[in-house]
Amino acid sequence: MWFLHDRENPTKAQGAFPEKIILYARIQNAIVSILADIGADAAAKDAARYIRIPGSFNTKGEEYVRWELNLDPDGNRRSYELTHLETFFRIAPPKRRERNRERVLGRPSIPNRRKGWTALNQRRLGDFDALRSLRGGFAEGCRNYAAFLFAWLLRCTGVDRNEATKMVAKLGAECRPRLAAHECKDAIKSGYANRMRSIKEATIEVYLRITSEETQYLIEHRTARRKESRIVAIFPTRAQGRRHAVLAIIEALGQAPSGRVMASILREQGHRVKHSQVAIDYRGLNVPTRPYGLPSLPYMQRRKLDSPKEP
């Protein structure tokens, strides 16, 4: 066995820092390549490996395990430092990636890519909440996955870890059977780990055991939520109510009436609006308007919006 020591403190073992692990792997590759002719283990290149305990019995080789320490002439244990081994094996330093994307790729970076990633996980979080409400909590078999995914989505959408801990604990209380406190804590630990950068949609479906019926429900719920957010998130309170009314009138009539007719109907419902404002609302809601020259909506068809007692 051979040992490694810290560069600054030779009496201390080498710490497993990311850059040291990368250098260790490069040194191991060089050793395996040089000693390939005498049967070096090509798989023994990683920094963490299991070894047999000295004195234990190896049933495969039917021998007792013993290790030989690499000693110097004075009988002291030899120890090495990674940079010395790097120099000894003439290992070239790794090439650094160029950070200037315009010079490397010949095109500018995409500043809105992060916004797209955030929007994707906000949509996933909305689907998760809808599925959670539909099921009334998660049952055994997917509840631990649900807690982990919930924590991961909260991290991706920028929720503070302390607040996420409370939210995951509330989710765990809804599960059947209830998740233990340490299971909720483990979900937070895994969800907020830096190594979890992305999860595929198919993986989420497998984790939560989403059926085809639930998938269809989530699609419809997502469409309704997007339509609702388009109105609520953009427009002020007074315009929200008016534009909700515009969409309700169009749905009841089956088509969009002219701006003047819509303004008349809205005034009957108590909205103070002119036809010019209706035209702005139509553009904001992406409502197709009637082409010029076609007849407007008949008056009797507009009366569908009135009370049933009137003809």
Higher pLDDT, 2 or 249: 249
- Does residue 73 lie in a domain region? yes
Classify residue 162 by its DSSP letter.
H
Query: What's residue 183's pLDDT?
Result: 93
On whether residue 210 sits in a domain, the answer given is yes
* Domain range enclosing 46: 3-88
Please say whether the beta carbons of 25 and 47 come within 8 A: yes
Do 195 and 243 share a structural domain? no
Q: Per-residue confidence at 172, pLDDT binned at 50, 70, 90?
A: very high
Q: According to the model, what pLDDT value does residue 174 have?
A: 92
What 8-state DSSP symbol labels residue 71?
A: B
Task: Give the residue from 51, 71, 88 where a domain finishes.
Answer: 88
* Residue 178, strand partner residues: none
In a domain, 103, yes or no: no
Q: What integer pLDDT is reported at residue 196 of this predicted model? A: 63
Asked whether residue 213 falls in the same domain as residue 240, the answer is: no
Most confident option among 30-39, 167-176, 195-204, 206-215: 167-176
pLDDT for 108-117, tens place per residue?
A: 556 666 677 7
Quick one: 268 and 198 in the same domain?
no
In angstroms, the first-to-last Cα distance of the chain is 97
Q: What is the pLDDT of residue 268?
A: 87
* Cα three-residue angle 143-148-152, rounded to 5 degrees: 145
Q: With bands split at pLDDT 50, 70 and 90, how would you rate the model's confidence at 303?
A: very low
Q: Provide φ and ψ at 173, rounded to 5°.
A: -70, -25
Residue pair 31/89 in contact (Cβ under 8 Å)? The answer is yes
Q: Is residue 286 part of a domain?
A: yes
User: Regarding beta strands 57-58 and 63-64, do their DSSP bridges make them parallel or antiparallel, or are they unpaired?
Assistant: antiparallel
Tell the burial category of 151 from Cβ atoms under 10 Å away from its Cβ (0-12, 13-18, 19+): buried
Q: Tell me: do 273 and 198 sit in the same domain.
A: no
Q: Please tell me the predicted confidence (pLDDT) of residue 299.
A: 43
pLDDT at 254: 83
List, for residues 265-275, the tens digit of each pLDDT value.
Answer: 988 888 888 88
Q: Report pLDDT for 195.
A: 62
Is the CB of residue 142 less than 8 Å from the CB of residue 179? no
Q: How many domains does the chain have?
A: 3
Last residue within a domain, chosen from 88, 123, 140: 88
Q: What is the mean pLDDT of the chain?
A: 81
